[in-house]
């Protein structure tokens, strides 16, 4: 009689381990992509909720978007509004205005953001973490002033720090294309301040309330998506919110992405 085998041979065990290693090498990247896709979906849903709030806010404010809060005179806002006291600033911050329109408070944090900016609540407590940033190109404008509402970015994502350096914090509340904030650096596949953190793309909310994912190359090639058409049409040259063709524009260097477009 042949002896009964009670276990695996060393060769069989090695074959099984090799198969497991191959499967792990194949499946782990798939699992990582699935987790990233889930985080991207969460970020998209956050911004869709904010898009709803934008629509509600605009309807209650004569079809006009919130403004850039300014203590200075003349005002840095297109609206000319000057906030009289610093203690009144929190109530006019765009996130506090929008969150007030939603019963269920959406997160202002993208799950892929490892350094969200602490921002003030209505009581001036810096306890609201924030990954999103509003566009100066559209601030203070009314629906009648925007030719393509479905292409006018109102909110988008920002990096937590410059070029991955935790010491260089980005705490901006408004993104400014006329200062190079939408500029794309292909050598590191990264935008300047706008954050293309989702498979190389960036999620944004538009004036009509919808949100979608865009590649930075697509965004940067469009004077409408960047908001440069709005900056050209409604500039504030004294504060540099303009393109190079505007008299008195102080941001006329190559970093001003609006320099690269022609206007009618």
What is the separation, in whole angstroms, between the first and last Cα of the chain?
Answer: 96
pLDDT of residue 151: 97
Tens digits of pLDDT across the chain (264 residues):
555 555 667 777 777 788 888 777 776 665 566 687 888 999 999 999 999 999 999 999 999 999 999 898 889 999 999 998 999 999 999 999 999 898 777 789 999 998 899 999 999 999 999 999 999 999 999 999 999 999 999 999 999 987 667 778 899 999 999 999 999 999 999 999 999 999 999 999 999 999 999 999 999 999 999 999 999 999 998 888 988 766 678 777 778 899 889 988
pLDDT of residue 190: 92
pLDDT of residue 114: 86
pLDDT of residue 206: 98
pLDDT of residue 257: 92
**Full-model pTM:** 0.85
């Amino acid at each position: 009689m042949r002896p009964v085998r009670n276990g695996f041979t060393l060769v069989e065990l090695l074959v099984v381990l090799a198969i497991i290693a191959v499967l792990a090498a194949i499946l782990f990247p798939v699992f990582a992509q699935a987790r990233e896709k889930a985080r991207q979906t969460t970020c998209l849903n956050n911004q869709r909720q904010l898009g709803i709030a934008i629509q509600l806010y605009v309807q209650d404010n004569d079809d006009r978007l919130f403004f850039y809060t300014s203590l200075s005179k003349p005002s840095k806002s297109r609206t000319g509004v000057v906030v009289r006291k610093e203690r009144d600033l929190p109530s006019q911050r765009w996130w506090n205005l929008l969150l007030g329109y939603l019963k269920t408070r959406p997160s202002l944090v993208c799950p892929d953001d490892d350094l969200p900016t602490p921002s003030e609540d209505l009581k001036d407590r810096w306890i609201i973490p924030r990954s999103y940033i509003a566009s100066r190109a559209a601030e203070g404008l009314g629906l009648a002033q925007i030719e393509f509402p479905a292409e006018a970015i109102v909110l988008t994502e920002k990096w937590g720090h410059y070029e991955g350096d935790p010491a260089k914090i980005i705490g901006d509340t408004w993104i400014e294309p006329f200062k190079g904030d939408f500029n794309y650096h292909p050598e590191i596949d990264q935008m300047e301040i706008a954050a293309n953190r989702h498979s190389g793309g960036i999620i944004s909310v538009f004036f009509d309330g919808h949100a979608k994912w865009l590649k930075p190359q697509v965004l940067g090639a469009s004077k409408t998506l960047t908001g440069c058409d709005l900056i050209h049409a409604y500039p504030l040259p004294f504060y540099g919110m303009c393109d190079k063709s505007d008299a008195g524009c102080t941001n006329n260097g190559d970093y001003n992405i609006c320099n690269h477009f022609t206007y009618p």
